[in-house]
Amino acid sequence: MNIAKVVVDVPASQTNRVFDYNIPDKFTDIVHCGMRVIVPFGPRKVMGFVLEITDHSSFDKLKSIDDLLDVTPVLNKELLELGKWLSNHTLSFYISAFQAMLPQVLKAKYKKEFQRKNGAQLPKELETIFAGRDFVSSDEFIERDGNYRLLQRMIEDDQIDVLYHVHSRETIKKETILGLAKEPRVYAEKIETLPKQATKQREILAYLLDQGGDVSQKRLIKDLKTTRATIKTLIDQGLVKETKKEVYRNPYKEENYKRTTPLGLTEEQTEVIKPIWTSIDQNEHEVFLLHGVTGSGKTEVYLQAIQKVLAHQKGAIVLVPEISLTPQMVKRFKGRFGSDVAVLHSALSPGEKYDEWRKIQRQQVKVVVGARSAIFAPLKNIGIIIIDEEHETSYKQEEHPRYHTKDVAIHRGEVHKCPVVLGSATPTLESYARAQKNVYRLLSLPHRVNNQAMPEVKIVDMRDELHAGNRTMFSRTLKEAIEERIKRKEQIVLFLNRRGYSTFVMCRDCGYVLECPHCDIALTYHRKQEKLKCHYCSYEEKMPSACPSCQSETIRYFGTGTQKVEEAIQELIPTARVIRMDVDTTRKKGSHEKLLNQYGNHEADILLGTQMIAKGLDFANVTLVGVLAADSMLHLPDFRSSEKTFQLLTQVSGRAGRAELPGEVVVQTYTPEHYSIQLASKHDYDTFFQKEMSMRKKFQYPPYYFLTLITVSHPNQVKCQEVIRTISQLLMKHLAKETKILGPTPSPVTRIKDRYRYQCMVKYKNEPKQREILNKILVVFESDIQKNDLLIQIDLQPYQLM
């Protein structure tokens, strides 16, 4: 067993396979599958993952492994298999798939250096760069525009060497631990002989004797109000010894969370948890879709399902969208399961994330709560995987490997023979359609806990406000409702949807929005050319000066920011106390939590914010939710815009009236008749589902059809157009006759950082050979990709269509 099969960190299709390496004697029995190694590859040294260890190779001259990056494997067998599956599933390289599963600090960086060998005399051009030195970093070489051809010749002539340093950013935090250096009994005498004025030193010794063991220096300094200098004198006298101990950075201190006990489940909760418990008990994989209205107690169902899993000595993964991984959410899990919980959150520092990851890796925790990438948590014995708010698009990773978390979860669920629970008040059409076909098992919580009523929703037509002479951003209804709540000392959530602003053009007079006659999506405004364009089919028209529907001249594109809204409130209702939550006010670490705490303590009447306040918040005193512009997302150039609008309105409305006090919602819109606004206001998911499904069927979108989005980008526009044309021709030729290929067309954002972008979209029902064909296309363009700066992105199941 002295041969390792290694996937190398060279993302290209020729290298997307395993290479055989010799395991040198010194590493025999030390190298294991799932470890990262340094291997020679051509003239370079690269990192690689060991996938397999065997005793035979079909090649006879093998190079040897140079070095090991890990002492223990960073990927276990299951994750190695998962990586292979992921790479195949998303059409990405093995190496990208493996890297995606690791915490950031384990992603090694390389530093390249050129070394002059044995004082060699270099050509003048290079000598000016080396300037008498023996080493020059590759960065400096590039910066000073060094001649690569010359460099290459010198390397071939053995005058210059290329060195690779691999830097792992992994950092382990150490803590200083103090203890007694001698037998305890000798201290009585020692304390006597210390100088009289050394009271602090005496105190320290007494403290250590009292603790009878090792104490963290930090704690001792705090408890005794002493200094490091005093401790140092004792160490120097050989009375105290210090050691370094590896510790975890723990951003979520357990003692900060009050322990909670399971609540008595309601009848509905009891009904839905039964089949989940059965699946856990019987070790059977099944996918459940938990459709529960806002405030129906889904989280309590998750908690008690996990409790069952823990009783079986297994672990759980709970995924929540980044944006709703709020302190409140963490509190609920830490409160129930204490130090058994690891939290993986993007707001943690890389070091903190690494520590949480190591706790999981060492199986020291049982429950992992985290955002998207937590689906790769290295838990060995998974008993349940839960995806909360399963409709959230952030579950789709928008860079290599372009995976959807749901697919990964279901795959791992199959491997571990455990249930996967997808929870939402507004499931995606895809999931609900699957539940209707019994691919998933549907579980419903149609009522709020304790049967509180769903909040009453009032739709306000903003066109009427304009006609009545109200030009502010607050309707009369909303203004009165706010004032009333402030008087009653109740609280208000004001939601401003920032997504989709200033892309579409709307008539303020009649609410008319310009749409593509072929694609049923809003046209996007291009300011420079004064044109409106469709980003699916390239249809375009001139920006009109008057509304095509009512001739009014108030037609323009749409937009405002939270800061402006805050000013407007202050002007309109000067007594209102407002907390504004947006990217600006939450940039600093911990500010998110602080603002929510202030709001929870009723230090403000109004919580004003964007997407980040739409979900997950559970404040009993909130009785009014105002939605300032319900339409803004409705007109995004995206076939899911109605669905997203329905989901968002339902989520925000769900923040009102969650406890005893009844809730009310005011939705301001220019298109009150739109079905997603009407049905969200009636909390009518079922009708929305029927209606939206019929639209999807008519326009041939998912879940009736599958989509693949192919985007090509290159600095040269002509090159870009050529490539995308060739790709769509190849697809046309090789894919099924019934399959449609839309485009090629410029991408919605046509140029990013001086690179042109063109796309085409494949719409299909069944294409078993698609992956194979796409892979072949990538090979056709391989040399352009490697050498000519061409980028081809393939997104199977795209969510981001911009």
Ligand X SMILES: Nc1ncnc2c1ncn2[C@@H]1O[C@H](COP(=O)(O)OP(=O)(O)OP(=O)(O)O)[C@@H](O)[C@H]1O
Q: List residues forming the annotated binding site for Zn(2+).
A: 507, 510, 516, 519, 534, 537, 547, 550
When the beta carbons of 455 and 672 are compared against ligand X, the nearer one is 455
| Helix (H), strand (E) at residue 8 | strand 3-8
Q: Which does 449 bind (CB under 5 to 8 A by kind): ligand X, Zn ion, none?
A: ligand X
Q: Which does 300 bind (CB under 5 to 8 A by kind): Zn ion, ligand X, none?
A: ligand X
Place of tokens 């050129």: 114
Question: On the CB side of 84, how many CA atoms lie within 13 Å of its CA?
Answer: 14
Q: Which does 181 bind (CB under 5 to 8 A by kind): ligand X, Zn ion, none?
A: none
Q: Which does 623 bind (CB under 5 to 8 A by kind): ligand X, Zn ion, none?
A: none
Task: Give me the least distance between CB of 294 and ligand X, in Å please.
Answer: 3
Q: Which residues of 545-568 are buried (b: 16+ CB within 10 A; e: fewer)?
A: eebeeeeeeebeebebebeebbee
| Helix (H), strand (E) at residue 343 | strand 341-344
Q: Which does 550 bind (CB under 5 to 8 A by kind): Zn ion, ligand X, none?
A: Zn ion
Q: Which does 80 bind (CB under 5 to 8 A by kind): Zn ion, ligand X, none?
A: none
At 17, phi and psi to the nearest 5? -160, 180
Task: Give me the least distance between CB of 663 and ligand X, in Å please.
Answer: 12
- Which amino acid, one-letter code, is at 87? S
Contact 731, 760 (CB under 8 A): yes
Distance CA 389, CA 291 (A): 10
Tokens of 769: 């050979």
Task: Give me the least distance between CB of 264 and ligand X, in Å please.
Answer: 6
- Which amino acid, one-letter code, is at 651? Q
Task: Give me the least distance between CB of 671 and ligand X, in Å please.
Answer: 26
When the beta carbons of 425 and 777 are compared against ligand X, the nearer one is 425
When the beta carbons of 300 and 509 are compared against ligand X, the nearer one is 300
Task: Give me the least distance between CB of 445 and ligand X, in Å please.
Answer: 7
Q: Which does 552 bind (CB under 5 to 8 A by kind): ligand X, Zn ion, none?
A: Zn ion
Q: Can the peptide bond before residue 195 be classed as cis, meaning omega within 30 degrees of 0? A: no
Contact 168, 149 (CB under 8 A): no
Q: Which does 297 bind (CB under 5 to 8 A by kind): Zn ion, ligand X, none?
A: ligand X
Under DSSP, is residue 305 helix (H, G, I), strand (E, B) or coil? helix
Contact 125, 147 (CB under 8 A): yes
Tokens of 276: 């989940």
Q: Which residues pair with 54 in a beta bridge?
A: 3
Task: Give me the least distance between CB of 483 and Zn ion, in Å please.
Answer: 32
Residues 6+ apart with CB under 8 A from 636: 499, 500, 503, 504, 521, 522, 644, 802
Task: Give me the least distance between CB of 655 and ligand X, in Å please.
Answer: 8
Task: Give me the least distance between CB of 637 and Zn ion, in Å please.
Answer: 9
Task: Give me the least distance between CB of 528 and ligand X, in Å please.
Answer: 42
When the beta carbons of 279 and 299 are compared against ligand X, the nearer one is 299
Task: Give me the least distance between CB of 518 and Zn ion, in Å please.
Answer: 4
Cβ neighbour number for residue 592 with a 10 Å cutoff: 18
Q: Which does 68 bind (CB under 5 to 8 A by kind): ligand X, Zn ion, none?
A: none
Tokens of 647: 């989901």
When the beta carbons of 440 and 536 are compared against Zn ion, the nearer one is 536
Distance CA 793, CA 92 (A): 10
When the beta carbons of 616 and 744 are compared against ligand X, the nearer one is 616
Contact 97, 54 (CB under 8 A): no
Q: Which does 519 bind (CB under 5 to 8 A by kind): Zn ion, ligand X, none?
A: Zn ion
Q: Can the peptide bond before residue 703 be classed as cis, meaning omega within 30 degrees of 0? A: yes
Q: Return residues touching ligand X (CB under 6 A).
A: 263-266, 269, 292, 294-300, 425, 449, 616, 618, 654, 658
When the beta carbons of 106 and 523 are compared against Zn ion, the nearer one is 523
Q: Please state at what angle helix 641-653 crosses helix 685-698, rounded to 10 degrees.
A: 170
When the beta carbons of 30 and 263 are compared against ligand X, the nearer one is 263
Signed CA dihedral, 398, 403, 406, 409: sign only: negative
Distance CA 67, CA 37 (A): 6
- Which amino acid, one-letter code, is at 545? S
Task: Give me the least distance between CB of 675 and Zn ion, in Å please.
Answer: 20
Q: Please state at what angle helix 199-211 crosses helix 217-224, rounded to 10 degrees.
A: 130
Q: Which residues of 284-296 are buried (b: 16+ CB within 10 A; e: fewer)?
A: ebbbbbbbbbbbb
Question: On the CB side of 259, how many CA atoms lie within 13 Å of its CA?
Answer: 6
When the beta carbons of 190 and 740 are compared against Zn ion, the nearer one is 740
Task: Give me the least distance between CB of 413 and Zn ion, in Å please.
Answer: 39
Under DSSP, is residue 726 helix (H, G, I), strand (E, B) or coil? helix
When the beta carbons of 421 and 534 are compared against Zn ion, the nearer one is 534
Q: Return residues touching Zn ion (CB under 5 A).
A: 507, 509-510, 512, 516, 518-519, 534, 536-537, 539, 547, 549-550, 552
Distance CA 692, CA 696 (A): 6
163: exposed, middle or buried (Cβ count in 10 Å: 0-12, 13-18, 19+): middle
Tokens of 243: 């050691």
Question: Residue 453 has what DSSP assignment?
Answer: P
Q: Which does 292 bind (CB under 5 to 8 A by kind): Zn ion, ligand X, none?
A: ligand X
Contact 33, 73 (CB under 8 A): yes
Q: Which does 573 bind (CB under 5 to 8 A by kind): Zn ion, ligand X, none?
A: none
Of 622, 664, 625, 671, whose CA–CA distance to 648 is shortest?
Answer: 625
When the beta carbons of 636 and 666 are compared against Zn ion, the nearer one is 636
Task: Give me the least distance between CB of 263 and ligand X, in Å please.
Answer: 4
Distance CA 627, CA 632 (A): 11
Q: Which does 110 bind (CB under 5 to 8 A by kind): Zn ion, ligand X, none?
A: none
Annotated binding site: 507, 510, 516, 519, 534, 537, 547, 550
When the beta carbons of 421 and 576 are compared against ligand X, the nearer one is 421
When the beta carbons of 365 and 555 are compared against Zn ion, the nearer one is 555
